[in-house]
Amino acid sequence: MEGKAQPRVVVVMPAYNAARTLSRTYHDIPHHRVDKIILVDDGSTDETVEIAKALNLSVYVHRRNFGYGANQKTCYRQALAEGAEIVVMLHPDYQYDPTLIPELIEPIANGEADVVLGSRLLVDDALRRGMPWWKYVANRFLTRLENRVLGLNLSEYHTGYPAYSSNFLRLVPFQENSDKFIFDQEIIVEAVHNGFRIHEVAVPARYFPEASSASLWDSIVYGCRIMLLMGRYLLHRAGILRHRHLEIYESRYVKVV
């Protein structure tokens, strides 16, 4: 990127009860490459908001817990309103390495990608790093299913560390997506269906008690919803049952309300 103006990078943190790990996450961010950090609190009952304000983050608070997808919708609306050219989602639970943000945004900054996924499985050492075996097996199974349906060859679809170009976020109707965890998969389906470029970057993850983790039951529900989403996409692509939110809409969907 030598000789070119650096794009405006906004990091968004979808937070829920992240008081124990937020400061560590924040201090590991390479601030020389990030122009703004936004935290959206989704009804936390701990000191997440107070800590975020002490760190001088831009803080937005949901009056109750609306869900992971709803949190991301607020994150991306606010990032676009702040003039972001690249948006990075970083969980404040310190599971993903914030120091890798420059590597994550590079394909977008260089005009090579619209979406970059930080993959825990691109270098296959997730089990050694502490990923529970049942999560590893489920991740591998669902990734193979999604690759087959979507015609890609990604190592992982279920990362919590993506980066998006502002153009991508302005075009895809992410406001139409679920308020739940399936939001992440819906936005990837929208990217694939509409021909956006997806790259992966290896991002080793940490597993420790303070890091947030879905329960076994939540993971089962999530897996079932992914399979339903893949079925819906196949029906949509075949023209049997159309789904409006898989199509590109005008940027009116991302106006801040």
Contact 89, 75 (CB under 8 A): yes
The answer to the question of residue 45 being in a domain is yes
Alpha-carbon distance of 16 to 1, in angstroms, equals 35
Domain assignment of residue 113, given as a range: 9-132+158-211
CATH number at residue 49: 3.90.550.10
The answer to the question of residue 247 being in a domain is no
The answer to the question of residue 106 being in a domain is yes
The answer to the question of residue 46 being in a domain is yes
The answer to the question of residue 254 being in a domain is no
Exposed/middle/buried for residue 253 (C-beta within 10 Å: 0-12, 13-18, 19+): middle
The answer to the question of residue 21 being in a domain is yes
pLDDT at residue 250 above 80?
no
Alpha-carbon distance of 228 to 231, in angstroms, equals 5
pLDDT at residue 1 above 50?
no
pLDDT at residue 64 above 50?
yes
Q: 232: which residues sit within 8 A by CB, 6+ positions away?
A: 241, 243
Structural domains counted in the chain? 1
- 3-state secondary structure (DSSP) of residue 59: strand
The answer to the question of residue 75 being in a domain is yes
pLDDT at residue 8 above 60?
yes
Question: Considering the entire predicted model, what is its pTM?
Answer: 0.90
The answer to the question of residue 113 being in a domain is yes
Strands 115-119 and 162-165, how do they pair? antiparallel
Q: What is the pLDDT of residues 198-237, one digit of tens each?
A: 999 999 888 876 665 566 778 888 999 999 999 999 998 8
Region 152-179: mean pLDDT is 95
